[in-house]
Each structure stands twice: as structure tokens, then as C-alpha cells.
Structure 1
Amino acid sequence: MRTIVITGGISGIGKALADTIRVAGDKVITVDLKDADVNVDLTTAEGREALVEQVRELSGGKIDGIVANAGLAAPVAATIGVNYFGAIATLEGLRPLLADSDAPRAALTTSMASLHPNDEKLVDLCLAGDEEGALARAEELAADPQTGGLIYGSSKAAIARWIRRVAPTAEWAGGNIPLNGVGPGVVFTPMTADLTATQEAREGLLEMVPMPLNGFMEAQVVADVLDFLISRKNTHLCGQVIFVDGGSDAVIRGDSTW
């Protein structure tokens, strides 16, 4: 039986993935703000330390997979704290617990919003590991309604670039740990409820997030891809962000990556 840790595991994509893993007969340790196996705030150093300590206790010191899925989409500085620094703290803090697994795996949830315009200064501060500076920059952006919306996309662009940088390193690939991510389009979750509540809202959202293949999706669609990424079957994907987005990546970027 494998043991998988999922942050943001009580709702949306995290819950769908947790349910899928349990049905397969494996153990899940959920992490969230409340009602989870581990209840912590990933914007704080104390919460990140408690995450590692409590997962170590619940797992007996050995896990087989990590999914850093917790996230915020609000135009506030805390979005950077969770989406970027909280995700890295989760993955790096729990990585030692993968050491005894015969098939260690790690994944995180980014977003197709990583393809949207972002704040270059904020992205650079994140990648430099300057959390204090990144939070200060996010506060500046949040103070202006015209720029607050850049925070979410910047957090996801930064974490997608982080995956590319660290996945092939000795700590991850050298430790036989595939590290990859998913970039969902619009998913029906509590986080997007207001954005998808009416036909008018959905049509407006599709102008920003074109999804020509089947439109918006349920959380299970993304959960199934994450389930593969942390499975034994995934042996060679390394540093990839798989866009599960109904075609947004193809529409927005075309052949620019080739």
C-alpha cells in the first residue's frame, strides 16, 4: 500500500484525487486549513514546519508520493505565500520522507494562468527565493485593482519555472523522483464558483481561457492526470507541466514552443 500526501485535499481537485487514490486501496494524508488529517496554514513558517512534523508522525516516516495542490486565486499577497513558497516548502520539506519508497513520486498543481501576462519583478523575486520581497511586491500589486490580478498568474508562472529548474537535479531526478506538474484550465471547484455561476460569466471567462475541447471541466479530469503522475507507471516524465486545459495552451501559444 502506497501513502500519498495531498495538500488542498479537502475540496476540488485535491478531494477528487484523494478519493481516487483511496478507491485504489492506497492511503492518503490530506493537508488543508481545516477538516484534514493535517490542518496547517502554508503561508506561515510554523505551518510549514508543522506539516512536515505531522506527516512524519502519521506516515511513520515513509511516504510514496507528494501532491502540492493547495492554492489561492485571490488578488492578495497570501496567494504568493501558498501557491509558490508554500508549494516549495511542501515538496522540499517532505522529500526526505520519500527516501525509502521503491517508487517515489511528486507533482504539483500550477495553472494555464501561467500563460497569462504576469509581473516580471514578482516572478523574479519568487525564483530568487526572496519571500519577503515577493510578498512586498504582491502587496504593491494588490493595492491597485488594475494590477492585483497579476498575482495569481505570476505565482503559477514562477512555480512552473521552478519545476523546470529543479526536476532534473540530483535532489529530484538523481533521487529517482519524477517531479512534474499539471496546468488546468477552468475547473468547476469552489475556487471558481463565482466565475462560472452564470452563462454571462462563463462566456466572459472563455474569452480569457479558450477551451475548444469540451469546455470547462470537473475536478476529476485533472485528478486523473495527477494520479498518473504519482503512479508507478510514470518513470520518465521529468520537469513537465501538462496542460489539462481543453486546448488553451495550443490556442494561446500556438507553435511558439517548438
Structure 2
Amino acid sequence: MARTAVITGSASGIGKATSELLVERGYRVIGVDIAGADINVDLTTAVGRETMVQQVGELSGGVVDVVVANAGLSSPTVLTAAVNYFGAVATLEGLRPLLAASAAPRAVATASMASLFPPDEALLAAFRDGDEPGALARAAELAAGTAQEAALIYGTSKRALALWLRRQAATPEWAGAGIALNGVAPGVVDTPMTSDLTATEEAKAALLTMVPMPLNGIFDAIDVAYLIAWLSSEENAHLCGQMIFIDGGSDAVIRGDSTW
């Protein structure tokens, strides 16, 4: 029987590549995006998140084998804070009961190597406290500040998501229910979200100075999709709470011996 996967952000980039790959491998995919998907909702809002959970339940028949919380933004805006953290967490928590009904449930969150950069501590604290009004207020302050301050929103949201995943993966609600919860942290991927950053060779060179990727440089969304597909598979029965950096070496260069 075909496995059912729910993929947010399915209309473009990594989400689209993953959707197409899983369909090719025999999965039934329920795509979620703001437009152009099976379920069209705005995951920056509580209503959108609730509608997504309701409609996934209806379309799936109450059983989901895979959830890929991939939807996200990279813009220096409040919406980035809303979808990258609160939208992702709501997706994973809201669909967890449907995953628990599967014989081999898997969940994957898409973070970023930008989670390695120093965060805005006030925003990070609000994320970790689950304080969405406070987080959005702090994100608005950052967005109204300098370009450097506004840029902190993205990396901080992705660090918060990685920390949430690490805290939750081994708990009774996840590992105790047999649900493998892991994440991917891509480097610079050639997608519509990064098109402005990679439009010219000069722009690419400047970006790679900040995001070192010594192994083969900038890559395509399908390369991340291959990793997500394995994390989503029945073969992945024991990986728990791991954030896997698929980044051409950025993690190794930036963190070095500080982690292993």
C-alpha cells in the first residue's frame, strides 16, 4: 500500500522537488502551499494552520506516514518568523496524531545552515517560549532596523526550529510513539527563494564568502529531496533528533571542532 506524505511548501523549491521525487517512488503526496497545491492555506496564520490539519485529516483518511514541514520564507520580514517557526511547529504538532496511526511514521523539518549564525537572543527566547505575539513584535522591530538586524530573523527562526526538534524528538509523544523526527539544514540551494542572491557570478562569490561550501558549491533542490526521501522512508527506523547539514561543508568549516 502506498505511503501517504504531507509536504508543506510543495509548490516550489525543495518542497516541489521532494513532492515529485516521492510521487515517482510511489508515495501519495498531499501538497500544502499558499497556492498551487492540494491544500491552499497561509501557514503564517492560526486559521491557515487549523485548516491545513483539518483538510489533511479529510484527504488522508486519518493516517499519514510522512510529514515534511518544509514551508518557509527567507525575507527579512515578520512573515518569515511566523511561518518558519510557528507554521512549522504547528504542522508537526497538528499532524502528529495522524502520524501516530502509521505503522512507520516519519517527520522531517527543513531548517538551514543559517541556524549556525549568531541569533537575535530576544527573538530566539520568544520562539522557545512559544510566545508568538512576542516573537512577531520582536521580528517587527528587527525588520524596521538595519539590514543586518532584519537579516537576523531568518537564521534565528531556523535555529529555533532546530532547537525545538532536538527537544521534542526523543519524547514520549514522538520517539515513544515510534515517530522518527529529524531535520535537514541545507546550505545555499538554487531555488526561487535564493534567486536574488545567486543572479550573477559576483553575487554567488559574495554569498559563498559568507556561506563557505567547499564541496561542489551551490546545488539543486533535488539533492536535498534525496536526503528528505531517505529520512521519510521505512529504512530510517532509528535516526532520532538529528539535524543533518547538507551544505557542501559549511557546518564543518564554521563549527570545526566545537561539535562532533
* TM-score after normalising by structure 2: 0.98
Superposed CA RMSD in Å reads 0.6
The alpha-carbon deviation at position 178 of structure 1 amounts to 0.6
Measure the CA separation in 1 of the matches of 2:194 and 2:35. Answer: 20
Alignment match, 1:235: 237
CA distance in 2, matches of 1:142, 1:25: 42
State the number of aligned residues. 258
Q: Deviations over 1:167-222 (max 9, x none)?
A: 00000000000100000000000000010010010000001100000000000000
Q: Quick one: distance in 1 between partners of 2:30 and 2:156?
A: 29
Correspondence for 1:256? 258
Supply the distance in 2 between the matched residues of 1:96 and 1:154 (Cα, whole angstroms): 28
Counterparts of 2:106 and 2:203 in 1: how far apart (Å)? 37
Q: Show the counterpart of 2:196.
A: 194
Q: Name 2:171's counterpart in structure 1.
A: 169
Q: Would you say the 8 A contact 2:14–2:221 is kept in 1?
A: yes
Q: Secondary structure at the residue paired with 1:149?
A: helix
CA distance in 2, matches of 1:164, 1:59: 27
| SS of corresponding position for 1:53 | helix
CA distance in 2, matches of 1:23, 1:200: 36
- Match of 1:154, as an amino acid? T
| SS of equivalent residue, structure 1 residue 251 | helix
- Stretches of structure 2 that go unaligned for 5 or more consecutive residues are none
Name the aligned partner's letter for residue 236 of structure 1: H
Q: Which residue of 1 aligns with 2:223?
A: 221
Residue 184 of structure 1: aligned partner: 186
Which sections of structure 1, spanning at least 5 residues, go unmatched?
none
| Aligned equivalents of 2:78, 2:118: Cα separation in 1 | 17
Identity of matched residues, %:
64
Matches within 5 A, 1:99-118: 99-118=100-119
User: What is the one-letter code of the residue matched to 1:243?
Assistant: F
Q: What amino acid sits opposite 2:230 in the alignment?
A: F
Matching residue of 2:133: 132
The alignment status of 1:144 with 2:178, answered yes or no, reads no
Distance of 2:164 and 2:125 partners within structure 1: 11
Please give the residue correspondences for 1:75-114 in structure 2 after superposition, counting only pairs within 5 Å.
75-114=76-115
Deviation of the 1:99 alpha carbon: 2.2
The secondary structure found in structure 1 opposite 2:227 is: helix
1:9 aligns with 2:3: no
2:149 aligns to what SS in structure 1?
A: coil
Q: Deviations over 1:221-253 (max 9, x none)?
A: 001000011100101111110000000000000
**Cα-to-partner distance string for 1:107-132 (whole Å, 9 max, x where unaligned):** 01000000012101111110110000
**Cα distance in structure 1, aligned partners of 2:17 and 2:179:** 23
* Separation in 1, partners of 2:134, 2:190: 33
Query: Mean alpha-carbon deviation: is it higher for 104-113 or for 142-151?
Result: 142-151
After the TM superposition, list the runs of 4 or more consecutive aligned residues in structure 1 that deviate by more than 4 angstroms. none
Matched with 2:35 is: 34
